[in-house]
Amino acid sequence: MTDMTQNSSTQISTPSADGSSFAALKHQFLQIWQVLAALVLIYLVFFVLSEPFRSLDTLLSIFGQASILAILACGTTVVLISGGLDLSVGSIFAVVGVIVGIALAEYQLPVVVAVLIGLLAGAAMGALNGTIQVFTKVPAFIVTLGGLTAYKGIAEILASGRDLSRFPESFQMLGSGYLVPMLIMFGVALLTGLFLTKTRLGNHAFAIGGNEEVARLSGVNVRKSRIYYYMLGGVLAATAAILEVSKLNFAMPARGQSYELFAIAAVVIGGTSLFGGRGGVGKTLIGMLIMQTIIVGLSYLGVGTSVQRIAIGIIIIVAVYWDVWRRPSR
């Protein structure tokens, strides 16, 4: 997959095709190959250490488990590139899952209608986060932390006493097996990457994240753009939720817990800056695969989930430290 990555920049226009542009493209190419090399190295380590890990089913399992969270992480990538932060995507995930479950199990709406309702709900919650943040100037961390708690409560209220299971077979096909979720994951990543690199609104995300004041002085409507980025994050969280509900054939408000942390971890491991202005969805997908490879590999070696979390936590800290170290202002 083509890496959808750009360097931190305060420029709005696309650089001309000169030597500096070639150097920037070369730098981006080297960055994604570094992350990909890390993935291959980690995979080979577990391949050598664990015989059961060597099966094709294990490889497909890694991709399958990464697919749903990678879709959610694509939205997180856009928000972080723009200099924002959304801690509520896991709770948006839970709300959408419950809404789609109610639409299918109780109201027996057509699958297409239920899916559209879920996507609209995700877009609305994401847009609400963005609107509150840009107009109140409350830090995104606080706004979305509040959203995390509030949306979780909404999911619990909506699901109370309901049996949200046994959905139509046509809906279950969306998340069945490994192939369909993987195709959807790659499709979402491609579209998100094209949005970031080929549209004005997407390019503005890098400019706003690189230097918000310069972007504003250059004519970018920062407030409106930020709302769109959070809205996109909500839509992709909803997409991931719909796939998981389809795969599991049930919905419950407990789903999505800590998913926002996994998404942020994958984005940071992939090389997107927590400070905004730099990143791409291609590397986010690799970052999610790195996480899932470590989790699955450690499981095959008999390592418990607590130690797995410690390992992922250490990797996140190292990735963030590397991001801070390589900033020009260090």
Pairing between β-strand 5-6 and β-strand 279-280 as defined by DSSP bridges: antiparallel
How far apart, in whole angstroms, are the C-alpha atoms of residue 279 and residue 262? 17
Main-chain phi, psi angles of 218, to 5 degrees: -85, 0
HEC string of the chain equals CCCCEECCCCCCCCCCCCHHHHHHHHHHHHHHHHHHHHHHHHHHHHHHHCCHHHCHHHHHHHHHHHHHHHHHHHHHHHHHHCCCCCCCHHHHHHHHHHHHHHHHHCCCCCHHHHHHHHHHHHHHHHHHHHHHHHHHCCCHHHHHHHHHHHHHHHHHHHHCCCCCECCCHHHHCCCCCCHHHHHHHHHHHHHHHHHHHHCHHHHHHHHHHHCHHHHHHCCCCHHHHHHHHHHHHHHHHHHHHHHHHHHHCECCCCCCCCHHHHHHHHHHHHCCCCCCCCEEHHHHHHHHHHHHHHHHHHHHCCCCHHHHHHHHHHHHHHHHHHHHHCCCCC
- pLDDT exceeds cutoff 60 at 8: no
pLDDT cut 90: percent of the chain above it: 68
pLDDT in tens, 99-141: 999 999 999 999 999 999 999 999 999 999 999 999 999 999 9
Size of the chain in residues:
330
pLDDT cut 70: percent of the chain above it: 89
Task: Please report, for residues 278, 280, 281, 288, the alpha-carbon distance to residue 197 in angstroms, rounded to integers and kept in the order given.
Answer: 12, 9, 11, 21
Main-chain phi, psi angles of 84, to 5 degrees: -100, -175
State pTM to two decimals. Answer: 0.89
Residue in 16, 23, 264 with CA at minimum distance from that of residue 7: 23
What integer is the mean pLDDT of 168-183? 90
pLDDT band at 21 (very low <50, low <70, confident <90, very high): very low
pLDDT band at 29 (very low <50, low <70, confident <90, very high): low
- pLDDT exceeds cutoff 70 at 177: yes
CATH fold of 68-325: ABC transporter involved in vitamin B12 uptake, BtuC (1.10.3470)
Question: Which position has the token pair 């030597």?
Answer: 19
pLDDT in tens, 221-246: 999 999 999 999 999 999 999 999 99
What integer is the mean pLDDT of 254-267? 90
Q: Quick one: pLDDT at residue 4?
A: 44
pLDDT band at 35 (very low <50, low <70, confident <90, very high): confident
Main-chain phi, psi angles of 305, to 5 degrees: -65, -30
Q: Quick one: pLDDT at residue 326?
A: 65
What's at 92, amino acid-wise?
Answer: I
What integer is the mean pLDDT of 141-146? 96
Q: Quick one: pLDDT at residue 270?
A: 86
